[in-house]
Amino acid sequence: MRKEMKLTKMILAICLILLTVSSTAAQNPKEIIRRMEDNMRGDASFSEMTMKTVRPRYTRETTMRSWALGDDYSLILVTAPARDQGTSFLKRGNEIWNYVPNIDRTVKMPPSMMSQSWMGSDFTNDDLVRGTSSVDDYDHKLLGSETIEGIECYKIEMIPHPETPVVYEKVIYWVSKNNYLPVKLENYDEYQELVSSIRFREVKKMGGREIPSVMEIIPHDKDGHRTIITTHNMDFTITLTRDFFSQQNMRNVR
C-alpha cells in the first residue's frame, strides 16, 4: 500500500513539474514570437496579394506576387497596375534592391531609404522587406495579457538590439493565445511616440495553415490614410533555392 502511495505521489510530482515547465515555456515572450513566426511563415513560400492604398481623395490597388525563403531571402513582383507592372524588390540578408522596368535599371536601396514609403503606401520599405528577425534581433518582454476584439492575447514589447538596423525604436505585439497568430502591432519612434499600428484579421486556411488574410496599417499622424494588404493565395510547399533570389531573376520572374 505504501509503495502504491509513493508511486502515486511520484507520478503527481512529475506531472506537476511537466505542467510548470509547459506553462513557463508558454509565457516566454521570445518563444511566443517564435511560434507566431513559425505559424506565419514556412521554410519557403509563395503568395498572391492585393494592396489597397486609401487616401482622403482616392484609392489605389496594386497586385503582387511574393516568394520567400526563411528570413533572409524574399522577392516581390508587382503585376498591376500596368504602369508598375514588372517592378520588383529583392532582399538578400540585409541588402535590398529595386528593379524598375521602364528604365531597365536595378537600384540598391541605402539604409536611409528604409523609412520611406513603399510603393506610395503607408508601409515603409522596412515594413515590407524587413531585414531583421523578430526573434533574434530584439529583446522581448511580456507586458501581460489583453483582449483585442474578443481575442485573448499576449502583449509583448520588443526592443531592437543596438546594432540592429531598424526604423522603429520599439515594437509592441499582440499575439493570440489560442493559435499564436498576430492580432495587432504598434511601432514607436525614438521619442516613444506611436508612429503606426497594424491590425491582422480574417483568419483563413491557406496552404494548409490558418493565417490572417488581411493586414491593415494605419499611420498615427495622417487622418484618412490607411493601407490594406489582402492575401488571396499561399503555398508553403514550394521548393526554392538561394539562386532564385538574384538580381537577374528580378527581371525574369513572372
- For the stretch 92-124, pLDDT in tens is 887 889 999 999 999 998 877 877 888 899 988
pLDDT of residue 111: 73
Give the three-class secondary structure for 126.
helix
pLDDT for 81-97, tens place per residue? Answer: 999 999 999 988 878 89
Separation of alpha carbons 157 and 136, rounded Å: 14
Provide the pLDDT for residue 129. Answer: 57
CATH class entry, domain 26-252: mainly beta
What's the CA gap between 52 and 61, in Å, rounded? 4
Between 194 and 70, name the one with better pLDDT: 194
Name the grid cell of 47.
503568395
Angle at 200 between CA 157 and CA 204, to 5 degrees: 135
**8 Å CB contact between 64 and 79:** yes
pLDDT at 16: 42
Lowest mean pLDDT across 50-64, 129-143, 145-159, 210-224: 129-143
Q: Where are the domains of the chain?
A: 26-252
Phi (first) and psi of residue 191, to 5 degrees: -95, 10
Model pTM?
0.83
CA angle 19, 22, 27 (to 5 degrees): 125
